[in-house]
Amino acid sequence: MEVYNKNRDKNQSLSDEIREQNAKLKNASLKDKLLYFKDYYLLTAIAVIVICAFVFSFAYTILTAPRDTAFGAFFFNDTGDSSNTELVDRFVDYMGIDTSKQNAYIDSSMSYSENGVEFDSYIDLEKAMASITANDVDVIVGDADTIDYFTKCDCLGNITDILPEDLLQTYQDRLYYAETGSGESIPVGIDVSDAPKLNEYYYYVDKEPVFSFIINSDKTENAIAFLRYIYMEDSQSSF
């Protein structure tokens, strides 16, 4: 039985052919109907399913994602495992952050080089600038070159305007100074080479990391809490 004819008469209208094919399919066997579907509709059906799945997945991600960021940090040029989330997970538990409502992250995959920026580094800088503009990151930790770069871009805050008095006293001998875009030298960071929790996860082995605050962060209290946290021993940071 012929169910369809791909090479229809050019003079035959499309509507006439549709009626003809429907008439033939009405009494066709299941096998012939499946063949017809395969040749005419299978690819279209697959495309529709894929598009619907994408739309559903995207909508679900948007609707269920946390509405804002409770804490965000970029670790530049570190030596740790970028897939390890234990430090931020423990900080989230310590702070009691509800991750169903707020996001918290440490991105330790970031890189920067002052001598000829490679493509990956360029992408990381673009990502950092976008996150700073979107007020989605609060802390940058990195080597001196990285901190100098972001200071020149006027992205980092003056430590003396941010830290409470007790921390200023604690870290007064470890302040890091850098030049802003206007040429002014200000304290924008803290040498955190001896931070127990950074060392626990091998984030900056044989390096001198500087901890700095993003100038437009509206979650400075959480950023300060993270600075305190990385200096806590496990007995201090447990409930």
Segment 95-150, tens digit of pLDDT: 999 999 999 999 999 999 877 556 777 889 999 999 999 999 999 999 999 999 99
Cβ(85)–Cβ(75) below 8 Å:
no
Q: Which pair of tokens denotes residue 151?
A: 């200071």
Q: Which pair of tokens denotes residue 33?
A: 């109907």
pLDDT for residue 115 = 73
Cβ(166)–Cβ(176) below 8 Å:
no
Q: Which pair of tokens denotes residue 130?
A: 């976008």
pLDDT for residue 226 = 98
Q: Which pair of tokens denotes residue 18?
A: 């549709």
How is residue 237 annotated by DSSP? H
SS3 percent helix, strand, coil of the chain, rounded to 5, is 50, 15, 35
Model pTM greater than 0.85? Answer: no
